[in-house]
Structure 1
Amino acid sequence: MEVLIPKKMREIARDEKCPKEVADFTKCCKDSGLKMIYKCRAENKALWDCLTHWYNDAEFKERCRNEYLQERSEYRRTGLTQKERKNLQTTGF
């Protein structure tokens, strides 16, 4: 659990809280090739600043913790992961 909650925080922060920074950094890396280490420092810093802000936010951490506990509870009840449940819903089986 000590590893899974930060992982969940990282995923949610990247997808919901910092999508512009992720997109900017990704674009810079694709455009720069091997020179990305030098050329994308500003984008990398902006991304890490955004992620660090959310990692240190107590309410966000509590939200991620609650979501994790809810998913774990659902897994224990059904024996299916969130991804497996979603696949079942889309395929209709």
Structure 2
Amino acid sequence: MEPPPGAAENSKLRHVEKDVLIPQIMRDRAKELCSDKVQAFTKCCKETGFLMVVKCREENTALKDCLVGHYADPSFYEECKAEYLKQREEYRATGIKKKRQKITSNV
């Protein structure tokens, strides 16, 4: 069975897709997966104000470790790439851009 016409063209990623759009999906998904650490850091910052740099080091380190762990995982990148390609395919088929849900942080 042959791939549909233009399939090779559709699987290529532009520079902006590789360096901007897929990493944005990675950041959003990593924040969701590390939400407990995001909340702990946010709570610490609210409670300590200007001293957050000193007093919230532990929470900040835990958050960074969680996020970087996801960013460095090749399988996580491939999942996010597949998600992006699916969104791109849907957009090309329908012309309707799917709105990205933003995770708001109170930091």
Q: Shorter-chain TM-score: which interval?
A: 0.7 to 0.9
1:14-35, Cα deviation, whole Å (9 max, x unpaired): 11x2111111011111111122
Structure showing greater radius of gyration is 2
Q: Classify the secondary structure of the residue corresponding to 2:91.
A: helix
Structure with more helix by fraction: 1
> Is the counterpart of residue 60 in structure 1 residue 60 in structure 2?
no
* Corresponding residue to 1:5 among 1, 12, 22: 22
**Percent of matched pairs sharing the same residue:** 51
Aligned residue pairs total 83
Where relative contact order (Cα < 8 A, 6+ residues apart) is larger, the structure is: 2
CA RMSD of aligned residues (A): 1.4
Q: Which amino acid is the alignment partner of residue 57 of structure 1? A: D
Stretches of structure 2 that go unaligned for 5 or more consecutive residues are: 1-16, 101-107
Tell me the equivalent position of 1:37.
Answer: 53
Q: Classify the secondary structure of the residue corresponding to 1:83.
A: coil
* Corresponding residue to 1:23 among 25, 39, 42: 39
Query: C-alpha separation between the residues in 2 aligned to 1:11 and 1:48?
Result: 14
Query: C-alpha separation between the residues in 2 aligned to 1:18 and 1:44?
Result: 12
**TM-score normalised over the length of structure 1:** 0.82
Q: Which amino acid is the alignment partner of residue 38 of structure 1? A: V
Stretches of structure 1 that go unaligned for 5 or more consecutive residues are: 85-93
Moved over 4 A (4+): none
Q: Which amino acid is the alignment partner of residue 56 of structure 1? A: A
**TM-score normalised over the length of structure 2:** 0.72
Instruction: Compute the displacement of 1:52 (Å).
Output: 0.7
Query: C-alpha separation between the residues in 1 aligned to 2:46 and 2:96?
Result: 37
